[in-house]
Structure 1
Amino acid sequence: MLSYAGIQNPYALGKYSVEKNAKVMQRYRFIHESLLRIAAGHLPAREDWDIKVALGKHLYEDAEAADRLRARITELRTSSAVLNQEPDAALSLLMDELIHARNDLELMVGIYGVIKPALLDAYRSHTATTQQIVDQPTIRMLRSMILDLEDQLSWGEQMIVSLQQSGIYGDNGDQFKAGIASLLAAAGGIDGQQPKTAVLPHRIRSHEPYRIPLKSVRDPRKMGPVTWARTSVLNPPEDPVQRSLLAKMRVRQEEMTAAELIAAVLFSQKNMPWEFYRDLARHLWDEVRHALFGQAALESEGIDWMSRPQYTSDYDVNAPKIPGAQYAWLAIGIEEGAMKRPGKAGEFEFCRDEAKHPLMTQFQDYDWADEVVHANLGRKWSPDLIGEDISFVREIAKNELDHFWTEVRRAQAQWNEGAS
């Protein structure tokens, strides 16, 4: 079709007026933002490494989706004042219950067995039934979200099967899945257009707020024990360059603990501008990607990293602190500090010039670029989190670093003593 730039069905009347479209997209926005917060709250608590990785990726995609929805809603004669409102009491209860998933499988069936399949169906229906000319901006936006959801669900369905086949979980998550599905139905579905009753469901688990754990978790059936000490690889080589290279790979792989710390900040800090949560979702996903840099580098060398002790100090030492201190420690104390030589530049040059390892050279090249972004985010948001200027924040970060290194050195000494 050459006319209408290839747009199909240009004469058909669409399902959505401007007002109705904005109202439905308010629900979409709320769901993505809620899933972002739920994934952040669960990332330190979930055992399976691959689940942690996927939560980091998917919460970033949820943040991007919410950001686009926020922009589109305000284009539809809708005040930005509504963007922080909860559009439906039943939908809010659904999210309150979902965050109280008690294990890996429950969280997976709630997100990837109920909510995201329903989102995908809703977006496909929305793009097909809205007026194809007047609502092209929405159609284009939802198409990109559909692609993300298809990828997420392909992964999620496989993960659910793997967890169910493990035999660890008694009821295969069926009871929790049914409860989440019933709450979604009570909310009138994703778009709120399905039949509702005047009887709101009751709380099941969400009588008390969800509490993020103070210690991060690794799967004890697959991974080594958590530790605050750096443990490198088993039987490191005698050659100092190769030994240092493998240690750098391990340090990258251990950056999951930094992602978990950002998750704690994102989950715990209330009443910040939306851009804060969007930026931290990106920062978090970058740290997960850095952990994957290390994982891929180690696995390319045939090294079993998973059975080794798993370093969790970034999260565990800092978990009791307020979000501002947590973020200042990481983004200012660690990441801004890494801009000074040798720092990140030195790590890149070592992999390129001394170790001559092409894969790690590329990983460190992008790690360095990411850390520049993160230092800028620290300077952008830490003053707002703490309520002081950047010079004062740097003093706080220095004090937090001193406390951190005291704890880590103590753990390292204990580890060295036990290993000798």
Structure 2
Amino acid sequence: MSLSATWPRLRSLQSSERRIGTVFHYCFQTMGNSETDTQSTVRAPFAPWDRRELPGLFDVDDTARRVGNYKWTEMKLFEALGGWIATVPELDIKVRLGTHCYHHSWHADIWHKRLPELREMKPERLTVPANEAMERFIEAMTEPEAPELTIEKLVGVYRVLIPRFIAAYTYHRNGASEITDAPTIRFINFILQDEFDDWRDGEMMLQSLITTADHVRRASEHQAKLEAIMVEAGGITGPGSIGTSVSTSTEGGV
């Protein structure tokens, strides 16, 4: 095809390009101009279907403190279950405790790896109990050692400690920002699956053991003793483990 034959097509393409360029230039000039466009064309930072919120309930320090408390308590639970495997006479319970022992070891390892990502400090400095009452709770929970005290051992773990873990983890997950703290939320979701499964297993083991009025008395008395200490501690991470429902307002003299 000769140049003279293609020239009209080239001119047509050039004309089209100029028109397209003019349209784009006009769009950028009038973007956000209420006089030329009643609806803003500036793209929102989040899509309409993305309901995540940027600020969460916890800053970096809060998250690091809570994670350190989680790690400490998971380690103590791992140690307790591992020690009881040798003293529990019921074979089916011995096997199940071995499985749960591994779960809590893994949870502690997850939180150990998460700590350096949260603050530039040694994880050991944050791996501490929430308070002195939490230390006393662990001591009281692990106090039963005799082989005939399987009920007391299981009550402390599956009717007091693990329900508190589930509550603290759920509160943290629901209050964390899905944008700035997504790794922590992901870890909690994995851990919660274990906690719920272990809680169910533990309750079934207890129901299989509690068959007399005396068993009921032993279970309820030991649970009440441990619950009192846990309430004093305020939960896995201390007061505010699951938030607070107490109003601090003094408006109107209240």
Cα distance per residue 1:129-157 (max 9 Å; x no partner): 11111010000000000010111011111
Residue 174 (structure 2) pairs with residue 128 (structure 1)? yes
Confirm or deny: 8 A CA contact 1:164 1:172 kept in the other structure: no
Bigger Rg, which one:
2
Q: Which residue of 1 aligns with 2:160?
A: 114
CA displacement, residues 273-325 of structure 1 (integer Å, 9 cap, x when unaligned): xxxxxxxxxxxxxxxxxxxxxxxxxxxxxxxxxxxxxxxxxxxxxxxxxxxxx
Give the counterpart letter for 2:215 in structure 1: Y
RMSD: 2.4
Instruction: Give the equivalent residue in structure 1 for 2:16.
Output: none
1:8–1:99 Cα change, 3 Å: farther
Higher relative contact order (CA 8 A, sep 6+): 2
- Choose the corresponding residue for 1:56, options 87, 98, 103: 98
Structure-1 residue corresponding to 2:184: 138
CA distance in 2, matches of 1:91, 1:17: 23
Distance 1:47 1:178, change over 3 A: same
Cross-structure match for 1:75: 117
**Residue in 1 aligned with 2:87?**
45
Partners of 2:72 and 2:212 lie apart in 1 by: 33
Q: TM-score, normalised by structure 2?
A: 0.70
Equivalent-residue separation in structure 1 for 2:49 and 2:234 (angstroms): 31
Q: Classify the secondary structure of the residue corresponding to 1:192.
A: coil
Q: Using the alignment, how far apart are the partners of 1:72 and 1:53 within structure 2?
A: 30
Matches within 5 A, 1:254-333: none
1:179 paired with 2:186, answer: no
Q: Does 1:89 align with 2:135?
A: no
Match of 1:148 in 2: 194
SS at match of 2:103: helix
1:167-212 superposed Cα distances (whole Å, 9 cap, x missing partner): 66361411111111111111111221349xxxxxxxxxxxxxxxxx
Q: Secondary structure in 2 aligned to 1:79?
A: coil
Q: Which residue of structure 2 aligns with residue 33 of structure 1?
A: 75
Q: Deviations over 1:202-236 (max 9, x none)?
A: xxxxxxxxxxxxxxxxxxxxxxxxxxxxxxxxxxx
Q: 1:98 aligns with which of 134, 141, 144?
A: 141
% same residue: 26
- Separation in structure 2 between the aligned mates of residue 172 and residue 164 of structure 1, nearest angstrom: 9
Counterpart secondary structure, 2:215:
coil
Distance 1:7 1:111, change over 3 A: farther
Aligned residues: 193
2:144/2:152 contact within 8 Å kept:
yes
1:58 Cα deviation from its structure 2 partner: 0.7
Query: Cα distance, 1:51 vs. partner?
Result: 1.5
Structure 2 unmatched ranges of 5 or more: 1-44, 242-254
Assess if the C-alpha contact under 8 Å between 2:78 and 2:104 holds in 1: yes
Q: Distance in 2 between matches of 1:116 and 1:43?
A: 18
1:4 is displaced (CA, Å) by: 6.7
CA contact (8 A) 2:130 2:238 kept: no
1:87, distance to aligned residue in structure 2 (A): 4.3
